[in-house]
Structure 1
Amino acid sequence: MVGIILASHGDFAKGILQSGAMIFGEQENVAACVLEPSEGPDDIKAKLQKAIQSFDDQEEVLFLVDLWGGTPFNQANSLLEDHKDKWAIVSGMNLPMVIEAYASRFSMNSAQEIAQAILNTARDGVKVKPEELEPEVAVESSEKTPSNTGKPGTFEYVLARIDTRLLHGQVATAWTKATQPTRIIVVSDAVAKDELRKKLIQQAAPPGVKAHVVPVEQMIKLAKDDQHFGGQRALLLFENPQDVLRAVEGGVPLDTINVGSMAHSPGKVQPNKVLAFGQDDIDTFKKLKEKGLKFDVRKVPNDGQGNMDEILRRAQAELNR
């Protein structure tokens, strides 16, 4: 696995390491190296060398640094001299860049390949509101995402997820990278009636992916349309298991549900850090299991899977107290 070093003036690298872990999960072979105000070039160089020595694979190292020409960059560059054929440095470090680098390690084993792959994501992460402040950029026709609508066939479901927060950082980055959808569909009666939430969800879609919000009944109709969605890869997001059950009973052909987060509210118990259940939730999951659905309990793709049966047993025991 490619080792990644986050390097900066001050604690910026430590902060972005923590933020990346919140969104994408804890990472192996990643280190943050910071240049303190009282330190000099030799100090940060020693930290970089120590970080490299901690990696499983020291042949492939990617440096993500805050500022081109700054001391962290210069010292990383001095180490790069003897490894120009494999190592790489990318400056202008931001959170989209870091998350994209993490995700790229699933499919890429070269530091230089990852460095090249993360550039567009890093640039796309710089946006402004109101949108009219954005400079106009001509887009070549070859760069436009082709539409697959109109081909005979139904959706290919690459992920169905229960997540109270719906479309947020972990979904827009980690899960989108892992599953490669062409459409993200939020399935919720409540959100479909809320114009503000709909707009925010559409704006949160990652580049090249369309985001939609539909009521449960509309999703059932879309799932039965065998003429217009061939070639489309759908990532479905549900706020709760009850909506999933309605969708499945209506004919949406799901076989596995990723259970990511369920927020706590009065009357619910919380058997782990991210999942809270009321009696109706437990009963609904039992009905989904009876229908043959499997449960993939993970916040992000590289997390270990939780045991849903055990989680539900703990939740039931707490409710019975």
Structure 2
Amino acid sequence: MVGIILASHGDFAEGILQSGAMIFGEQENVKAITLMPSEGPDDIKEKMKEAIASFDNQDEVLILVDLWGGTPFNQANSLIEEHQKDKWAIVAGLNLPMLIEAYASRLSMDTAYEIAAHIVTTAKEGIKVSPEKLQPMEKAIATAAAKPSNVGAPGKFEFVLARIDSRLLHGQVATSWTRSTNPTRIIVVSDAVAKDELRKKLIQQAAPPGVKGHVVPIHKMVELAKDDRHFGGQRALLLFENPQDVLRAVEGGVPIETINVGSMAHSPGKVQPNKTLAFNQEDLDTFAKLKKLGLKFDVRRVPNDSKENMNEILKRAQGLLNKRS
């Protein structure tokens, strides 16, 4: 696996390393290197050497730096000249979309050169402006060109992921899950959100480049799932706030076979058997009904996480609720 160094002036590298872990999960063979005000070029160069020495594969190293021509860049460039002129690579202008794409690319690319060339486009696409009228013209043209060409083709939706997440469309979905499932549309299925114009607008704006964001009530999703005239070639990622909405959708005919259970927020009356999921009795009863309908449960925050046992989680939650009564 390609090793990755994040290098910056100050604590920026440490912060973006933490942000990347929140969205894509903890990563091996990644180190954050910081240049502090009291340090000089030799200090950061030595830190880079130590980081590279800790990697499983020291032949393939990608160095992501904050600023072209700054001390972290210069010292990384010096190391490349001294050691691996033909294999190690540097990309400047480090941002979070770039880092997430680098993580995802390591799963299918074996060289630093490949990843470096690939992630630049994603880093640029991650720079967007709101309101959209402020977006540079060339970006608007590129975004329009990236829209799927098969919109309106005969056929039904292909459902690539259905997820319960009380936060709906946020960083983990817009980056890691989108990268792993490659949807053309992200659809929030919720009666409550469909009535809230502000939330609808924010969700539509949060969709990643090249993916269309929608918010629809449950009955409308049922209609769309049955439509075999307009959605051929369209890959849909469905987001639900709670299991009750999933149950209504499945009972209405939306063909969900597996539900990814990612996040259910804690609120009064709920118990929390693990770090990300909280349940009340209605939730547990709803999951029992979903299981009876044949749904499988995939308990993960991000694709790289290990799957947890939903039956054990529900059993612990039921025990906690019983203790309260």
Partners in 1 of 2:144 and 2:249 — Cα distance? Answer: 37
Q: 1:258 aligns with which of 245, 257, 260?
A: 260
Aligned residue number for residue 115 of structure 1: 116
Q: Find the residue that maps to 1:59 and give its secondary structure.
A: coil
Identify which range, 171-180 or 285-294, moves more after superposition: 285-294
Q: In the alignment, does 2:221 pair up with 1:227?
A: no
> What is the one-letter code of the residue matched to 2:60?
E
Which of these residues, 273, 280, 283, is aligned with residue 281 of structure 1?
283
Structure 1 residues 102 and 140 mapped into 2: Cα distance closer, same or farther (>3 Å)?
closer
CA contact (8 A) 2:7 2:13 kept: yes
C-alpha distance in 1, partners of 2:316/2:143? 54
1:213 and 1:10 mapped to 2: Cα distance? Answer: 40
| Structure 1 residue 212 corresponds to structure 2 residue 214 | yes
Residue in 2 aligned with 1:10?
A: 10
Distance 1:228 1:131 in 2: 28
Name which of 223, 236, 239 aligns with 2:238.
236
Report the Cα distance in structure 2 between the residues aligned to 1:146 and 1:281, rounded to whole angstroms.
37
Q: Is 1:268 aligned with 2:270?
A: yes
| 2:105 counterpart residue number | 104
Deviation (angstroms), 1:60: 1.2
Q: What is the match of residue 129 of structure 1? A: 130
The separation in 2 between residues aligned to 1:290 and 1:161, in whole angstroms, is: 18
Give % identity: 76
Cα distance between partner residues in 1 of 2:300 and 2:112: 27
Partner of 1:149: 151
- 1:69-84 aligned at under 5 Å gives the runs 69-81=69-81, 82-84=83-85
- Alpha carbons of structure 1 residues 151 and 131: separation in structure 2 relative to 1, 3 Å: closer
Does the 8 Å CA contact 2:156/2:232 hold for their aligned counterparts? Answer: yes
Q: C-alpha separation between the residues in 1 aligned to 2:214 and 2:254?
A: 16
Higher mean C-alpha displacement, 142-151 vs 240-249 = 142-151
CA contact (8 A) 2:143 2:210 kept: no
Query: Which moves more between the two structures, 60-69 or 118-127?
Result: 118-127
- Could you say which residue in structure 1 is the equivalent of 2:57? 57
Length, aligned pairs only: 321
Quote how far apart the aligned CAs of 1:145 are.
Answer: 2.7
**In structure 2, the residue corresponding to 1:15 is in which secondary structure?**
helix
Structure 2: how far apart are the matches of 1:144 and 1:311? Answer: 41
Partner of 2:307: 305
Structure 1 counterpart of 2:249, from 225, 247, 250: 247
Give the 3-state SS of the residue equivalent to 2:141 in structure 1. Answer: coil
Q: 2:152, 2:230 within 8 Å by CA — same for their partners in 1?
A: yes
- 1:93 is aligned to 94
Distance 1:140 1:163, change over 3 A: closer
In the TM superposition, what is the alpha-carbon distance from 1:22 to its structure 2 partner? 1.4
Q: Which TM-score applies when normalising by structure 2? A: 0.95
Shift in Å at residue 140 of structure 1?
A: 6.0
1:309 Cα deviation after fit: 0.4
Q: Which amino acid aligns with 2:95?
A: N
1:26 counterpart = 2:26: yes
Aligned pair 1:44/2:8, yes or no?
Answer: no
- Once residues 141 and 75 of structure 1 are traced to their aligned partners in structure 2, the CA distance between those partners, rounded to angstroms, is 36
- The aligned amino acid for 1:54 is S
AA partner of residue 294 (structure 2): G
User: Residue type matched to 1:156 in 2?
Assistant: E
1: CA distance between counterparts of 2:45 and 2:182?
38
| 1:296/1:99 CA distance change after superposition, 3 Å | same
Pair 183,285 (structure 1): closer, same or farther in 2 beyond 3 Å:
same
In structure 2, list runs of 5 or more residues that go unmatched: none
Secondary structure class of the residue paired with 2:279: coil
Structure 1: segments with no counterpart, 5+ residues: none
SS in structure 2 of the partner of residue 5 of structure 1: strand
